[in-house]
Amino acid sequence: MPSSDEPRIVPPNIFGHNRAIVTSQYAIMQTAGTLPSKLPGIENTTIRIQTAPAMGAEFVQIFLEMEPGGGTTRDRDEASQHFFYVLDGHVTITIDGEAHQLDAHGYAYVPVNSHCGFKAESAARMIWIRKPYEAIDLTPPKALVGSRDEVERSRTHTEGRYWQYLLPVDDMAFDMNVNILGFVPGNYFPYIETHIMEHGLFMLEGQGLYLLANEWHEAVVDDFIWMAPYCPQQFYCTGWGEAAYLLYKNVNRDVTFG
C-alpha cells in the first residue's frame, strides 16, 4: 500500500459523469456542478453564475444561496435592470431606499439606473437576472413587486399547460419577459419552437425532457438551461407530478446590426 504522503494514482477507466453540456446553441447545467464565485459587496452568500456573456449570453443569471443575514453590503448602482425571484426563505429587496419583504415565490423587478440591494432574513435561495436595458422612445418601466401565488394561471393554448406572466407582456417599454410555464404529466409543446428570443430557464418543479437543437436532455428541479437565439426547442413533462420552470426571454426590440 502506498504511504499517505505518496501521490494517489487514479485507476484506469474511471470517468466523471454529469448531465452538464455547453454548446454554442445551448447549455444545461446542474447546480451541484456550477462552482461558486465571490463578488465584491456580497457576503455570506454562495454565488453560482449560471450564464453570462462569457458563454455567449446577452444577460446574466445567477443562483444565490444565502445564509441568514447574507446579501449585499451596500446598494448597487449600475446601468442594468434586475429581476429577483425567491425560491425559498425570506428576503428583503431594497429599491431606491424602499424595502420590500419577499417570501418564497416572491419577485421584484428593479428598473435601470436604480439603487438596489438584498438581504436574507432567513436561509434563502434566489434567482437573480441582470440585463442591460435597451432604451427606446418610451419611458423605462417602473419597479414592480409581486408573488407567483397571486398571478393568474393563463391557459392560452391548450388544457394541461399554463403560463404565469410575472412582468407585463403588453407594455412595450419592457425589453424582457419573465414567465412561469407549467405542465401536467404527459403534456408538451405541440411543436418545436425556433425563434429569435434568447432564453434562461430554471426548473422549479417536476421533471421532463427538453429538446435542445437536435438532442434530448433530462431536466429536473434546480437545473438551469440557456438557449441561444434560434435554438430549436421543445419540452415534454415526464414526471409523476406537474413540472414548472422560470423562463427569461428578451422581447419588444427591433433587430440591430453589428
Q: Divide the 258 residues of the chain into consecutive groups of 10 and give the mean pLDDT of each group.
A: 64 73 96 92 98 97 98 89 98 97 98 96 98 96 98 86 96 98 94 96 98 96 98 96 98 92
Cα 30 to the center of its chain, rounded Å: 13
- pLDDT number for residue 158: 76
Can you give the pTM of this predicted structure? 0.93
- pLDDT number for residue 14: 64
CB 82 within 8 A of CB 167: no
Rounded CA-CA distance 71/119 in Å is 4
From residue 153, give the alpha-carbon distance in Å to each of 84, 103, 165, 208: 20, 19, 8, 20
21-250: CATH homologous superfamily? Jelly Rolls (2.60.120.10)
CB 200 within 8 A of CB 128: no
CB 246 within 8 A of CB 195: no
* Domains of the chain, residue spans: 21-250
Q: Residue 15 in 3-state DSSP? A: coil
CB 36 within 8 A of CB 48: yes
Residue whose C-alpha is closest to residue 107's, from 147, 76, 143: 147
